[in-house]
Amino acid sequence: MGEEQSGAAAPGPAPAEADAARRALLREIVARGGLSDPAWYAAFADVPRHLFVPAYFVHGVRGYERLWGEDPDPGRRARWLRGVYADGALATRIRDGELVSSSSQPSLMALMLEALDVRDGHTVLEIGTGPGYNAALLSHRLGEAAVTSVDLDPEITEPARRHLAAAGYRPTVITGDGARGCPRRAPYDRIIATCTLPSVPPAWPEQCRPGALVLAPLATGLIALRVRATAQGPCAEGHFLPTPAYFVPLRGALPLPAGLPHLGGLPRRVAGNDLFRFLLSLTAGVLDPHEALSLWEQEGRPRRERYGITVGQGRQWAWLDDPRGPYTWPLGGPAG
């Protein structure tokens, strides 16, 4: 199932109706503590999300149901617009029953963009173009010349370019393997990924300036890595943010672990705990679940922000509290 019909015109809700819906979404994000930075508030206020999701899919009684902005049924058009400006992720591309592209939850996008800590003059590499909405927000904040976005699938990047152009933005959108970055546009001050990683692609720190920040979803969390130069090459290190995060996996990387391990024998209240399941995901293939439980309880059921990752010298590892402390373990294989 495609994201939109080839050559379909951009959706055209009544401007007043779309503006009211966008203002309501902004109020909701602000009420949740987001968009405290006036520059990002202006970006979300000015960039119309409906231009980037002319169609999306929702679960219906017969599987996925497609909603689109030019549906002849006014009731279904109204459902489409409500969904566009709800604070939720939208499935924009389904292939063989599998989600391959989406528009992320706006409040989570706002949190990530503010955590990216950009400054005027920074250049940004985005991994995972999706429908192009995030690239438009970055372009609004930094200027389109500062933004490079990469996605593996031309069936994603081509519509994204059209959406961006319709909104008045023309950042560089590349069809390619995001795990390899985009060396011809390097170096970057910031890298942001909108897809879940099994590990951090070594190419990313290598394409960064010293002091750059890499922000990416990993193990149901968001890792923020600061890049520094060393005699052995670039090193990236940092902690997870407190918030959970669930994204489409990065294609082109090594596969993610095949789900969580069998949790038989663990108390149900523990097996279902979000923070414990985060640790299980972070230690998949390395620690037995019962070992992970012992560590988790011994250390006071640590929250996400106590964990971190170090990438450098051809290896990478996760850790609790201290990258050179007693609790460290290897993190997956290098992506790509």
Q: Is 101 a catalytic residue?
A: yes
Q: Which of 101, 103, 107, 281 is catalytic?
A: 101
CA atoms within 13 A on the CB side of 61: 0
Structure token pair of residue 226: 């600061």
In whole angstroms, give the CA distance from residue 4 to residue 161: 13
Closest CA to 310 of 205, 211, 212, 217: 205
Angstrom distances, CA of residue 79 to CA of 52, 70, 75, 107, 226: 16, 12, 6, 20, 42
Cis peptide before 249 (omega within 30 of 0): no
Strand ranges, E, within the chain: 55-60, 63-68, 90-95, 98-103, 124-127, 147-151, 172-175, 188-193, 208-218, 221-230, 233-239, 307-312, 315-320, 328-330
Residues labelled catalytic: 101
